[in-house]
Amino acid sequence: MPVFNNYCNGKWTGSESGETFEVRNPADPDDVIGEFPSSTADDTRDAVDAAVAAQAAWEDTPAPDRGAILRRAASRLESRSDEVAELLAREEGKALPEATGEVGRAVGILYYFAEKALDLGGEVKASSSQDTRLETKTEPLGTVGLITPWNYPIAIPTWKLAPALVTGNTVVLKPASRAPAVAHEVAKCLDEAGLPDGVLNVITGSGSEVGGTLTTHDDIDAISFTGSTVVGQQVGETAAADGKRIQLEMGGKNPTVVMPSADVSTAAEIVSDGAFGGTGQACTAASRAIVHEDVYDEFVDELVAAAEDISIGPALDVYDMGPHVSKSELEGTLDYVDVGVSEGATLETGGSVPEAPRHESGYFVEPTVFSDVSSEMRIAQEEIFGPVVGVIPASSYEEAVTLANDTKYGLSASIVTQDLSEAHQFADDVEAGVVKVNEKTTGLELHVPFGGMKSSSSETWREQGDAGLDFFTTSKTVYLNY
Amino acid at 126: A
Res. 217 pLDDT band, cuts 50 70 90: very high
168 and 293 co-located in one domain: no
The pLDDT of 61-89, averaged and rounded, is: 97
Residue among 114, 102, 80, 106 nearest 159 (CA) = 106
181 and 80 co-located in one domain: yes
Per-residue pLDDT tens digits for 422-453:
999 999 999 999 999 999 999 999 999 999 99
In this structure, are residues 145 and 450 in contact, taking their beta carbons and an 8 Å threshold? no
In this structure, are residues 95 and 281 in contact, taking their beta carbons and an 8 Å threshold? no
In a domain, 447, yes or no: no
Q: How crowded is residue 396: how many other Cβ atoms within 10 Å of its Cβ?
A: 11
Three-state secondary structure readout of 348-412 = EECCCCCCCHHHCCCCCCCCEEEECCCCCCHHHHCCCCCCEEEEEEECCHHHHHHHHCCCCEECE
pLDDT > 90? residue 478: yes
In a domain, 451, yes or no: no
pLDDT given for residue 166 in this prediction: 98
The pLDDT of 330-340, averaged and rounded, is: 98
Residue among 268, 353, 278 nearest 304 (CA) = 268
Which phi and psi (to 5°) does residue 307 adopt?
Answer: -65, -40
Q: How far is CA 1 from CA 119, 205, 260, 316, in A?
A: 45, 19, 56, 20
Q: How crowded is residue 293: how many other Cβ atoms within 10 Å of its Cβ?
A: 12
Per-residue pLDDT tens digits for 226-260:
999 999 999 999 998 989 999 999 999 999 999 99
Helix ranges (DSSP H) in 145-287: 155-166, 181-192, 212-216, 229-241, 264-276
User: What per-residue string of b and e applies to 217-254 under the rule 16 or more CB within 10 Å gives b?
Assistant: beebbbbbbbbebebbebbbebbbeeebbbbbbbbbbb
pLDDT given for residue 449 in this prediction: 96
In a domain, 67, yes or no: yes
Q: How far apart are CA 217 and CA 472, in angstroms?
A: 17
379 and 284 co-located in one domain: yes
116 and 208 co-located in one domain: yes
334 and 302 co-located in one domain: yes
81 and 214 co-located in one domain: yes
The pLDDT of 131-148, averaged and rounded, is: 96
> Which residue has better confidence, 1 or 405?
405
pLDDT > 90? residue 326: yes
At residue 6, the 3 state secondary structure works out as strand
| Residues in CB range of 127: below 8 A, 6 or more apart | 133, 134, 479
Q: How far apart are CA 210 and CA 201, in angstroms?
A: 12
pLDDT given for residue 121 in this prediction: 87
223 and 342 co-located in one domain: no
Domain count, the chain: 2
Residue among 206, 179, 218 nearest 325 (CA) = 179
292 and 164 co-located in one domain: no
pLDDT given for residue 227 in this prediction: 95
| Residues in CB range of 281: below 8 A, 6 or more apart | 151, 324, 325, 329, 385, 386
Query: Cα-atom radius of gyration of the chain, to the nearest Å?
Result: 23
Q: How far apart are CA 151 and CA 444, in angstroms?
A: 15
Per-residue pLDDT tens digits for 178-206:
999 999 999 999 999 999 999 999 999 99
The pLDDT of 316-320, averaged and rounded, is: 91
Report the percentage of the chain scoring pLDDT > 90: 95
Q: How far apart are CA 312 and CA 295, in angstroms?
A: 29
Residue among 316, 329, 281 nearest 31 (CA) = 316
CATH number (domain holding residue 48): 3.40.605.10
Give the residues across from 290 on adjacent strands. Answer: 257, 392
- Catalytic residue list: 249
In a domain, 1, yes or no: no
Report the greatest alpha carbon distance in the chain: 80
175 and 258 co-located in one domain: no
Structural domain of 424: 254-437
Question: Residue 62's Cα: distance from chain center in Å?
Answer: 30
Q: How far apart are CA 397 and CA 416, in angstroms?
A: 12
Q: How far apart are CA 402 and CA 414, in angstroms?
A: 14
In a domain, 100, yes or no: yes
The pLDDT of 129-133, averaged and rounded, is: 92
Three-state secondary structure readout of 43-71 = HHHHHHHHHHHHHHHHHHCCHHHHHHHHH
In a domain, 448, yes or no: no
Per-residue pLDDT tens digits for 16-60:
999 999 999 999 999 999 999 999 999 999 999 999 999 999 999
Res. 1 pLDDT band, cuts 50 70 90: confident
| Residues in CB range of 187: below 8 A, 6 or more apart | 7, 173, 200, 202
Torsion of CA 338, 327, 231, 465, to 10 degrees: -100
CATH number (domain holding residue 421): 3.40.309.10
258 and 222 co-located in one domain: no
Strands 6-8 and 11-13: antiparallel
84 and 150 co-located in one domain: yes
pLDDT > 90? residue 398: yes
DSSP 8-state symbol, 172:
E
In a domain, 53, yes or no: yes
Res. 76 pLDDT band, cuts 50 70 90: very high
In a domain, 477, yes or no: yes
Amino acid at 384: I
Res. 318 pLDDT band, cuts 50 70 90: confident
373 and 477 co-located in one domain: no
DSSP 8-state symbol, 280:
G
The full length of the chain comes to 482
The whole-model pTM stands at 0.95
